[in-house]
Copies of this chain bind each other. A is one copy, B any other.
Amino acid sequence: MKLFVFRLGHRPERDKRISTHVFLAARAFLCSSGFYSGSKDKELEESIKKVVKNWGGDFKIKYEGNWKKFIKNFPGIKIHLTMYGIPFQEKINEIRKNKENKLIIVGGEKVPGEVYEMADYNIAVTNQPHSEVSALAVFLHEFWQGKELKKDFKGKLKIIPQEKGKKITNNNC
């Protein structure tokens, strides 16, 4: 069973950093790949590839211009994260038990109404406005029940946790 993240309607000028954070959170919290629609953004893709190259894992990012077709044809469960949805704590066990692949859809400012219809679940991480980045991370953390914290990414770079200061090992040196 794999998790994928789909970032709807990326706008390079406005969303570059938020979309970058969405995909980095997706990677750190054990999604296999990220997809995005909106405008193609080489800089976004390169920044994610660079993190994967240095920090490990095999997270991939891919542009999908036709969001409607992509969501429709996704073979698995479609979960749309939205503040308007059902609180995740009411659905997370049911979602976790289902062993199909899962596409987690995160929107930008304006999500087309059809997305709510196409999703198998519209899920809220609190019904308050905050961020697609925080909603995604808390959802994934609850989905994995903390198992993601034990993942060894076997990266070129690795942090040795410190009470004070920074310590990184570089396995290529």
Contacts and interface: CB of A to CB of B under 8 A. Distances in A.
Oligomeric state, in number of copies? 2
Contact of A133 (B82, B134, B162): B134
Contact of A116 (B130, B148, B165): B165
Given A87-B149, A134-B137, A138-B141, A127 B159 contact: yes
Given A87-B149, A130-B24, A134-B21, A161 B124 contact: yes
A119 B166 CA distance: 14
Contacts of A84: 159, 161-162, 165-168
Nearest to A148: B126
Main secondary structure of the interface of A (DSSP, over half): mixed
Interface in A82-137: 82-87, 89, 113, 116-117, 119, 122, 124, 126-131, 133-137
Interface of A: 14-15, 17-18, 21, 24-25, 27-29, 51, 55, 82-87, 89, 113, 116-117, 119, 122, 124, 126-131, 133-138, 141, 146, 148-149, 151, 153, 158-159, 161-168
| Pairs of residues from A and B, 5 with the lowest C-beta to C-beta distance, nearest first | A134-B137, A21-B131, A127-B159, A133-B133, A28-B128
